[in-house]
């Protein structure tokens, strides 16, 4: 890729998959599908809550199995095909709907709900079916097996990629932030404060972000708002 070509960076959150029927979660201290995030998403307590943790992610995989990508996922896949090698897709989502829509090279900042990870040896593998069979790690036989998603308090290895992308942003680049409240990662500081042209798409304003930092803000469902951005992107990606 000639380095002077404008690039497009997508940064997505749970709101991108909301219209596919997957629930978002509301705030770092909120509920996700009626369960406290602290019970099912905390590295300091997950072993005390072992069954609740696995029951929760099992249930997410069962309900997620019926979910398909929506027009917003497909629009992002279209953009990626329109500008080969010039689109970077970062997501906080742990589902696979961007991939199912045809996106390649998605940087999954918070892991993948279809993976399991051994806390002792680090072995990571794809789950067979929706439920963890509680048979332990196939590598070292440890029972300390957790979902392959990043919990609060746990290292997020792909944040290195996130910071690398942010550091490389230039004025010719465009960032589309979609479906994130900014509670877990501060999208306003990361992208609204960058050199790039930044576009925010959310259902409603979020009190967690200083949304005035973004170049443009669009409030509405992602399936309606993302396709409307294609003309702007065509101009900016020239
Ligand atoms: P969040 O739940 O904190 O915020 C969701 C945001 O999406 C809100 O700002 C809301 O206005 C917006 N939104 C809701 N419906 C929308 C729609 N139809 N169109 C456009 N925007 C819409 O989400 P977050 O900031 O991504 O943080 C949640 C964390 O939980 C993430 O770290 C993620 O790993 C995890 N999570 C993932 C999934 C998933 O993979 N589908 C689902 C829930 C939570
Ligand atoms: Zn192991």
CA of 143 to the centre of ligand 1 (A): 31
Q: Which of 125, 149, 173 is the last residue of a domain?
A: 149
Q: Do 145 and 211 sit in the same domain of this protein?
A: no
Indicate if ligand 1 lies below 6 Å from the C-beta of 184.
Answer: yes
For residue 17, the ligand 1 atom closest to its alpha carbon is 41
Give the ligand 1 atom nearest the CA of 95. 40
Residues 90 and 126 in one domain: no
Residue that is last in its domain, among 127, 149, 171: 149
Residues 190 and 72 in one domain: yes
The last residue of a domain, from among 149, 176, 199: 149
Per-residue pLDDT of the chain (238 residues), as tens digits, is: 556 899 999 999 999 999 999 999 876 566 778 888 889 999 999 999 999 999 999 999 998 999 999 999 999 999 999 999 999 999 999 999 999 999 999 999 999 999 999 999 999 999 999 999 999 999 999 999 999 999 999 999 999 999 999 999 999 999 999 999 999 999 999 999 999 999 999 999 999 999 999 999 999 999 999 999 999 999 999 9
Give pLDDT, residue 29.
61
Same domain, 131 and 232: no
Q: How far is the CA of 44 from the centre of ligand 2 (A)?
A: 19
**Residue 160 shares a structural domain with residue 223:** yes
Question: Residue 3 sits in a domain of what CATH number?
Answer: 3.40.50.1220
- Please choose, from the candidates 73, 8, 80, the residue with its C-alpha nearest in 3D space to the C-alpha of residue 238: 8
204 lines ligand 1 (CB under 6 A): yes
Q: Is the CB of 203 under 6 A from ligand 1?
A: yes
CATH of the domain at 122: 3.30.1600.10
Active-site residue list: 110
What is the residue range of 86's domain? 1-22+68-110+154-238
Ligand nearest to the CA of 142: 2
Q: Are residues 176 and 234 in the same domain?
A: yes
Q: Is the same domain home to 104 and 4?
A: yes
Q: What is the 3-state secondary structure (H, E, C) of the chain?
A: CCCCCCCEEEEECCHHHHCCCCCCCCCCCCEECCEEHHHHCECCCCCCCHHHHHHHHHHHHHHHCCCCCCHHHHHHHHHHHHCCCCEEEEECCCCCHHHHCCCCCCEECCEEEEEEEECCCCCEEECCCCCCCCCCCCCCCCCCEEEEECCECCCCCCHHHHHHHHHCCCCCCEEEEECCCCCCCCHHHHHHCCCCEEEEEECCCCCCCCHHHCCEEEECCHHHHCHHHHHHHHHHCC
Tell me, using a 6 A CB cutoff, whether residue 185 lines ligand 1. Answer: no
Ligand 2 center to 25 CA (angstroms):
30
Same domain? For 206 and 231 the reply is yes
Same domain, 95 and 200: yes
Q: Do 176 and 77 reside in the same domain of the chain? A: yes
């Amino acid at each position: 890729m000639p380095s002077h070509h404008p690039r497009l960076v997508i940064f997505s959150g749970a709101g991108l998959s909301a219209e596919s029927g997957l629930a978002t979660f509301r705030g770092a201290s909120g509920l996700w599908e009626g369960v406290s995030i602290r019970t099912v998403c905390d590295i300091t307590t997950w072993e005390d809550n072992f069954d609740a943790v696995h029951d929760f992610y099992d249930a997410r995989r069962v309900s997620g199995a019926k979910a398909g990508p929506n027009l917003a996922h497909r629009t992002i896949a279209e953009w990626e095909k329109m500008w080969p090698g010039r689109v970077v897709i970062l997501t906080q989502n742990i589902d696979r709907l961007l991939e199912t829509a045809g996106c390649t090279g998605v940087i999954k900042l918070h892991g993948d709900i279809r993976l399991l990870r051994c806390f002792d040896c680090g072995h990571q593998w794809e789950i067979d079916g929706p439920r963890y069979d509680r048979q332990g790690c196939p590598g070292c036989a440890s029972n300390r097996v957790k979902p392959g998603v990043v919990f609060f308090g746990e290292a997020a290895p792909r944040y290195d990629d996130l910071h690398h992308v942010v550091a490389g942003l230039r004025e010719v680049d465009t960032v589309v932030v979609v479906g994130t409240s900014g509670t877990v990662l501060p999208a306003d500081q990361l992208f609204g404060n960058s050199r790039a042209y930044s576009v925010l798409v959310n259902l409603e304003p979020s009190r967690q972000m200083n949304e005035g930092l973004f170049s443009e803000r669009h409030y509405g469902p992602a399936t309606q708002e993302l396709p409307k951005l294609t003309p702007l992107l065509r101009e900016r990606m020239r």
